[in-house]
Structure 1
Amino acid sequence: MRPGRKLGALRRRALRRLTVYRTRLMTSFFLPRRAGQTAWLRYAALLDGQTVNLHAELPASVTQADTAEIVLRRGLQRHRRPARVYPDPDGPWLMDAAVLLGAEAGGVPVGPGRWKLRLDVRSGGRSVRLPLSLAEPTTPRIGATGPMTRSPLTADRYRLGRTVRGDARVVCARARPEAEVAAVHIQHARIDVDLRVLGVRATAPWAEVLAAGRRVRCPLVEVQPGVWRLEVPLAEMVPTGGGREHWDVLVHPDRGAPLRLGRRLHDVRVPGRVFTMRKILVAPRRGILMRIEPRYTPAGSLRFTCSDGARAE
């Protein structure tokens, strides 16, 4: 094993052991001693990649509540969003809240880092602040879709975590450099792809399509703020020896490594089966027919398979 891989494996092993130790300390020491002092989260999840959904049971000490707010705190920064509190006829008071994250989406303008969650409950002139304790993370259901951990608008990454005391928190990180498909326009004799470049500066990006041993450089035209259009160069993608060729798209931002274009900001587990596109038969050059099959690979990358039209028929 290479030294770099060996060091990475040792780090991952140490992290797993630390996580197990922290979880044991939290569940066996801190959480039992905080019973009756915190609001217990019975449900906490990020359903669309940028909205925190919460349902909590308030301690028995709360016997009256008029209004409530979720408070996100990091250092000296505070952000407040309303929550709904109501009594359970057969038990304690309950709380529901949905907190949208990200200024671009009109939500809480959280930046990178760890944001603690608190609940402020008011009744008359009295106010009490309660930690939101998360004993067990909510397990997403297994199906055709899965949990989203990134904003579909900005690709910023959000996840729910816990402190060693069991307090819930939101962990935010900026988007990694990525080229995301915004739309694919398949017309009778041409294909246009709208795309966004996220997580990296892109004032004048350009693209290229690649097959085995072949590259075609393509300009990009900005059709909306932050949305660039690629006109797929079908005339340059005719298979040289007949048969089939697979073409991928690379997007070059202002600086840094090129980005493979794909569709990844979604919650679909098998994008190739869900985001299907129709095939077209075109005549890119005089006397030549070519069949184009746009599709997504298992990794979510956009790929064009070009084949000889007569052979395909």
Structure 2
Amino acid sequence: MIPRRRHLAGIRLRLTERAVAWRSWLMLRVFLPIRANRAARLLYAAVLDGHTANLHAALPRGTRLPDRADVVLQRGRQRYEATARVYEDHTGSVLMDAVVLLGAEAGGVPVANGRWKVRLRLRTGRRTSRIPLLLVEPPRPYDGPTKPMPASPLTGQRHRLGRSLTGNLRVVTADARPSAEVVKVDLSHTALTVDFRLLGADVTAPWSEFTAAGRRIKRPVDHVGDGVLRVTVPLEEMSPQRRATEHWDVTLCSDGAWRLRLGRRLHDVRNPIRVFAINRMSVAPPGQAPMLVQPRYTPAGNFRVTCSRMPEAGRRT
């Protein structure tokens, strides 16, 4: 069954690639030449920091500078506006710049799930014109220590730029993926405290579980205000027993169906292990041997605590 599934997945992938290639050819060879003089061509388009759409476009030849310009996002009867700047550069070309903040909690336009049409509206006196924005080249990933954020760091809501068959810009919005995002880690000589917040999920009677090498520690979860939850575990319960080093993962549980790994994923860094490094600490839990405690994040962004026995000191030879 597994080889058959892989075969079908390969077929679907090849069909998708062909469809994308055909769509790009159709847009570049057919629709773009037809609409070149009636639409603004985006020279740059990207969603930065998870919820800020940055747009830079060249307007059709002959476009006059308007009294006012706005970017309009529309889905069905819902319509929102954001101010745009239209100006003339040193070559005489008419350009447009716009920064559109997405999401009500970010202080921007309250876009909900779905595909939003994007137009540029120009007003001069009583005259109004609407110009489509053509996204010829979709945003491309870039190299470096940072990367595009997949979701808003405030809400987890996901925004990306897409395009229609004819090349018109779309803003595609989706709900936050259910996650437990770590806010703060406090390591003392006696306990580990983790503050986190929930995104895209509602839980009933939650608790947390610390698991490592077949061991399980169940701990209560407290609400500390502003949507932040807190779990504290005594370090003496995490002392290595079966192995010299044990790696503890933390999961939020509830009476419902949710089981969410605690982690830190709403960021734009490529190496969370290095950037979000937490100092390790040597502790001596009551009644237990001394150990090293190292809270950290895995490459996938999951929160993990590594506890290691301290090497014996002063051993005689």
TM-score by length of 1: 0.94
Task: Report if aligned partners of 2:204, 2:256 keep a CA contact under 8 Å in 1.
Answer: no
1:215 corresponding residue in structure 2: 216
Question: Structure 2: where are the runs of 5+ without partners?
Answer: none
1:16 corresponding residue in structure 2: 17
Determine the C-alpha separation between the residues in 2 that align with 1:220 and 1:285. 24
Question: Structure 1: where are the runs of 5+ without partners?
Answer: none
Determine the C-alpha separation between the residues in 2 that align with 1:30 and 1:253. 52
1:146 corresponding residue in structure 2: 147
Determine the C-alpha separation between the residues in 1 that align with 2:44 and 2:261. 36
Q: CA deviation at 1:178?
A: 1.1
Determine the C-alpha separation between the residues in 2 that align with 1:237 and 1:224. 27
* Matched residue type, 1:77: Q
Determine the C-alpha separation between the residues in 2 that align with 1:39 and 1:303. 48
Determine the C-alpha separation between the residues in 2 that align with 1:9 and 1:242. 42
Are 1:78 and 2:49 counterparts?
no
2:157 corresponding residue in structure 1: 156
* Matched residue type, 1:219: P
Task: Report if aligned partners of 2:159, 2:172 keep a CA contact under 8 Å in 1.
Answer: yes
Task: Report if aligned partners of 2:134, 2:169 keep a CA contact under 8 Å in 1.
Answer: yes
1:110 corresponding residue in structure 2: 111
Are 1:32 and 2:33 counterparts?
yes
Against the structure 1 CA distance between its residues 21 and 200, is the aligned structure 2 distance closer, same or farther, given a 3 Å change threshold? same
Against the structure 1 CA distance between its residues 287 and 76, is the aligned structure 2 distance closer, same or farther, given a 3 Å change threshold? closer
Against the structure 1 CA distance between its residues 280 and 206, is the aligned structure 2 distance closer, same or farther, given a 3 Å change threshold? same
* Matched residue type, 1:91: G
Aligned residues: 313
Task: Report if aligned partners of 2:236, 2:288 keep a CA contact under 8 Å in 1.
Answer: no
Determine the C-alpha separation between the residues in 2 that align with 1:117 and 1:110. 12
1:274 corresponding residue in structure 2: 275
Task: Report if aligned partners of 1:162, 1:169 keep a CA contact under 8 Å in 2.
Answer: yes
Determine the C-alpha separation between the residues in 1 that align with 2:216 and 2:272. 26
Determine the C-alpha separation between the residues in 2 that align with 1:52 and 1:253. 36
2:298 corresponding residue in structure 1: 297
Q: CA deviation at 1:91?
A: 2.3
Q: CA deviation at 1:143?
A: 0.3
Task: Report if aligned partners of 2:190, 2:236 keep a CA contact under 8 Å in 1.
Answer: no
2:284 corresponding residue in structure 1: 283
Against the structure 1 CA distance between its residues 304 and 126, is the aligned structure 2 distance closer, same or farther, given a 3 Å change threshold? same
Q: CA deviation at 1:184?
A: 1.1
Are 1:98 and 2:99 counterparts?
yes
Determine the C-alpha separation between the residues in 1 that align with 2:248 and 2:181. 17
Against the structure 1 CA distance between its residues 253 and 197, is the aligned structure 2 distance closer, same or farther, given a 3 Å change threshold? farther
1:235 corresponding residue in structure 2: 236
Against the structure 1 CA distance between its residues 228 and 243, is the aligned structure 2 distance closer, same or farther, given a 3 Å change threshold? same
**C-alpha distance after superposition, 1:160-198 (max 9, x if no partner):** 111110111111111121111111123343321111121
* Matched residue type, 1:185: D
Determine the C-alpha separation between the residues in 1 that align with 2:28 and 2:313. 62
* Counterpart mapping for 1:163-202 below 5 A: 163-202=164-203
Task: Report if aligned partners of 1:201, 1:254 keep a CA contact under 8 Å in 2.
Answer: no
Determine the C-alpha separation between the residues in 1 that align with 2:67 and 2:211. 62
Task: Report if aligned partners of 1:200, 1:253 keep a CA contact under 8 Å in 2.
Answer: no
* Matched residue type, 1:49: G
**C-alpha distance after superposition, 1:243-284 (max 9, x if no partner):** 111111011145224111111111111110111000111222
* Matched residue type, 2:117: K
TM-score by length of 2: 0.93
1:251 corresponding residue in structure 2: 252
SS at structure 2 position matched to 1:284: coil
Task: Report if aligned partners of 2:120, 2:132 keep a CA contact under 8 Å in 1.
Answer: yes
Against the structure 1 CA distance between its residues 7 and 252, is the aligned structure 2 distance closer, same or farther, given a 3 Å change threshold? farther
Determine the C-alpha separation between the residues in 2 that align with 1:63 and 1:89. 15
Task: Report if aligned partners of 1:30, 1:165 keep a CA contact under 8 Å in 2.
Answer: yes
SS at structure 2 position matched to 1:154: coil
Determine the C-alpha separation between the residues in 2 that align with 1:311 and 1:115. 63
After TM superposition, the structure 1 stretch with the greater mean CA deviation from structure 2, 21-30 or 184-193, is 184-193
Determine the C-alpha separation between the residues in 2 that align with 1:8 and 1:225. 44
SS at structure 1 position matched to 2:241: coil
* Matched residue type, 2:170: R
Q: CA deviation at 1:57?
A: 1.1
Task: Report if aligned partners of 1:201, 1:255 keep a CA contact under 8 Å in 2.
Answer: no
Q: CA deviation at 1:294?
A: 0.8
Q: CA deviation at 1:124?
A: 2.1
Task: Report if aligned partners of 2:158, 2:173 keep a CA contact under 8 Å in 1.
Answer: yes
**Identity, % of aligned positions:** 52
